[in-house]
Chains A and B, each alone.
Chain A
Amino acid sequence: MRGLLAVYRREMLSLWVTPLAWLLLATFLLLQGGVFYSIVVHFVQMPDLSLDAGPLPAYFGQNSVLLSITLLLLCPALSMRTFAEERRSGTIESLLTAPIGASALVLGKYFAVLSTYTLIWAPTVLYAVILRTTGTVDWAVLGTSYLGLFLVGASYLALGILMSAVTRSQLIALMLAIFVQFGIFVLGIGEYVFDPGPLQQLCAHVSLSTQLDEMSKGIVDLRRVVFDLSLVGWGLFVTTRVVESWRWG
């Protein structure tokens, strides 16, 4: 994979020297702070709790509509510029003539947005640290919660990069990625809409919100992990093919 690291470093630099990543980080933390605050205040007023209820599972799972909205804003914004911008400005030309393969290009960019996504989530670990001063935190469950967020984010970002590769316009890439992500979300809602049957089961299987909910309780279902990884693999594979197809355009 020649050149992957170089592409990764450039992409990270571009994300963090332009206002985009910082703007997302600031907005994100402000929003999440508000959400977490209201969850904690809510739980303070509840006299007794069941075993798996608490501010952290609520934050990472049971209110996952809020989480889905957050991801709907965060992931497409991170992935929109990856290829669209390169093609609009023409810089893709010198990348295509460089001695690196399309897969190194796609993976380098993908790992950069995925790292940025992880970095943006990183400060929220503080929430658990704060809670620990007044109660107990199950770190293993916290770990699976973050695993869930990581996997769902990874899937969305892979699809977002694909959307960025199919257009020259960042705005259209953003809209497409939002549509795709929203489509997956709506498919997941089907679990509660349809009568029990194969269709309802299908929706339950692909529901990423249900996955977040499960993982916030410490349940790691391998089928869900496989589903996420397949989305990532499929998205990146198709993106690589799209990038290669530019040579034949």
Chain B
Amino acid sequence: MIDAFELTKDYGTVVAVRDVTFHVGRGEVVGFLGLNGAGKTTTLRMLAGSLGPTSGRVVIAGHDLEREPLRARGCLGYLPEAAPLYPEMRVREYLEFRARVKSIRGSKVRAAAREAAERARVVDVMETLIGHLSKGYRQRVGLAEALLGRPPLLILDEPTAGLDPNQIHEVRELIRDLGADHTLLLSTHILPEVEATCDRALVIHRGRLVAQGTLEELRSQRTGSGAELHVRGDAQRARALLGELPFVRSVNLGAPREAAAPSAPTTELVELEVRFDAPPTEPETTAAATSGADVDGQIEDCVRALVNAGFGVRRAGPRRAALDEVFRSLTLPAAPDGERDATGGSAS
């Protein structure tokens, strides 16, 4: 649906976007992640056609944006950042105007405006002046505009920016509904948003695409695999035991799951976070692991070691890295896993 080839935007003093290449398939819901100023809006504007790339090429639904600009733009609905609208128009007037601009003709204009308003849930304010609407409504009017004429592709630039929690919830619900019959590309710097709505994510940092893939791929790709174990017994001893396994990189002690009786510290239930070495790229080198090189096999080995040593294992499973951890490791390669909260939101 979208093919971007080596998109570059050079403003002379600063290169906002450099060699960004990606593909978005039909029906996908893709999150476009990046910090403020990473080049998200610039890239989206290049895809939507309001900004020309310095070099590179965009193909929207098979139409080259430069050679067939009107056709390509006709295939997409775009919600610009902050959804700028005309305050002096009524919602209905505005939607009908936009429908006409999108070459919807005559009698169909009214119906198209109505349908888009229904889908974006702004029917109740059709006769209100846009200048009198709340920010949440304005955002949804912008969304209704993008939906006019049911374009196959929707590009939404920070659709939830500046909304209150209830409005954010509503817009996310809406996005999830839209994902059913549109291809969606939405930008955000809020990670839970991606986790809540997207199948796949593109991560842009300082104008470069630093990662792309499904959320699972991103998680494992950056943080390596690992396991989460709830173990009953002496935490330090368990830690040392697991540390001896050849594929274990580190073992972190989590919070005690259950307060232990002071008399018997060995019955304490603790949470252990085990990180494995990155999955082996050359399969023949990992002779050490008995049950194969995959994560499940490694977890099995851990559990066996613990049980043989007399520990109780309450729970064992693969570790799911929080996406913001992944994001931070992508965008702050030099910083330690510290307190820098660059994501603007915490994972929920």
Q: Which residues of A contact B (CB under 8 A)?
A: 2-3, 5-7, 9-10, 13-14, 17-18, 89-91, 93-101, 246-249
Q: Is B295 an interface residue (CB 8 A)?
A: no
Using CB atoms, name the residue of chain B closest to A105: B101
Give me 10 other A-B pairs in contact (C-beta within 8 A), A97-B49, A97-B78, A98-B102 excluded: A13-B89, A89-B84, A90-B82, A91-B85, A93-B50, A94-B80, A97-B80, A98-B101, A99-B70, A99-B101
Q: Is B93 an interface residue (CB 8 A)?
A: yes
Are A3 and B84 interface neighbours, CB within 8 A?
no
Are A90 and B80 interface neighbours, CB within 8 A?
yes
A247-B51 contact, Cβ under 8 Å, with A5-B100, A10-B97: yes
A13-B70 contact, Cβ under 8 Å, with A6-B101, A93-B50: no
Using CB atoms, name the residue of chain B closest to A90: B84
Q: Is B74 an interface residue (CB 8 A)?
A: yes
Are A94 and B71 interface neighbours, CB within 8 A?
no
Are B93 and A2 interface neighbours, CB within 8 A?
no
CB contacts (< 8 Å) of A246 on chain B: these are: 50
Taking a contact as CB atoms closer than 8 A, the residue among A13, A14, A100 that contacts B101 in the complex is A100
Q: Report B53-112 residues with CB < 8 Å from chain A CB.
A: 69-71, 73-74, 76, 78, 80, 82, 84-86, 88-89, 93, 97-98, 100-103
Taking a contact as CB atoms closer than 8 A, the residue among B88, B89, B93, B103 that contacts A99 in the complex is B103
Are A98 and B52 interface neighbours, CB within 8 A?
no
Are A248 and B52 interface neighbours, CB within 8 A?
yes
Are A14 and B88 interface neighbours, CB within 8 A?
yes
How far, in Å, is B307 (CB) from chain A's closest CB?
A: 61
How many A-B residue pairs have C-beta atoms within 8 angstroms? Tell me: 74
CB contacts (< 8 Å) of B100 on chain A: these are: 3, 5-6, 9
CB contacts (< 8 Å) of B48 on chain A: these are: 97
15 CB-based A-B contacts, threshold 8 Å: A2-B103, A6-B100, A9-B97, A13-B93, A17-B89, A93-B45, A93-B80, A94-B84, A94-B98, A99-B102, A100-B101, A246-B50, A247-B51, A248-B51, A249-B51
Bound state CA distance, A96 and B49, in angstroms? 7
Are B84 and A93 interface neighbours, CB within 8 A?
yes
Q: Is B145 an interface residue (CB 8 A)?
A: yes
Bound state CA distance, A246 and B45, in angstroms? 12
Bound state CA distance, A97 and B80, in angstroms? 10
Bound state CA distance, A10 and B145, in angstroms? 15
CB contacts (< 8 Å) of A249 on chain B: these are: 51
A91-B76 contact, Cβ under 8 Å, with A10-B97, A100-B70: no
Using CB atoms, name the residue of chain B closest to A248: B52
Taking a contact as CB atoms closer than 8 A, the residue among B76, B85, B101 that contacts A7 in the complex is B101
Are B52 and A247 interface neighbours, CB within 8 A?
yes
How far, in Å, is B137 (CB) from chain A's closest CB?
A: 17
Using CB atoms, name the residue of chain B closest to A244: B52
Bound state CA distance, A17 and B130, in angstroms? 13
CB contacts (< 8 Å) of A17 on chain B: these are: 88-89
Bound state CA distance, A2 and B105, in angstroms? 11
Bound state CA distance, A89 and B82, in angstroms? 10
CB contacts (< 8 Å) of B86 on chain A: these are: 10, 14, 89, 91
CB contacts (< 8 Å) of A248 on chain B: these are: 51-52
CB contacts (< 8 Å) of B74 on chain A: these are: 99
Using CB atoms, name the residue of chain A closest to B86: A91
Using CB atoms, name the residue of chain B closest to A2: B103
Are B70 and A2 interface neighbours, CB within 8 A?
yes
CB contacts (< 8 Å) of A95 on chain B: these are: 101
How far, in Å, is A166 (CB) from chain B's closest CB?
A: 18
CB contacts (< 8 Å) of B97 on chain A: these are: 6, 9-10, 13
Bound state CA distance, A17 and B90, in angstroms? 11
CB contacts (< 8 Å) of B71 on chain A: these are: 99
How far, in Å, is A214 (CB) from chain B's closest CB?
A: 40
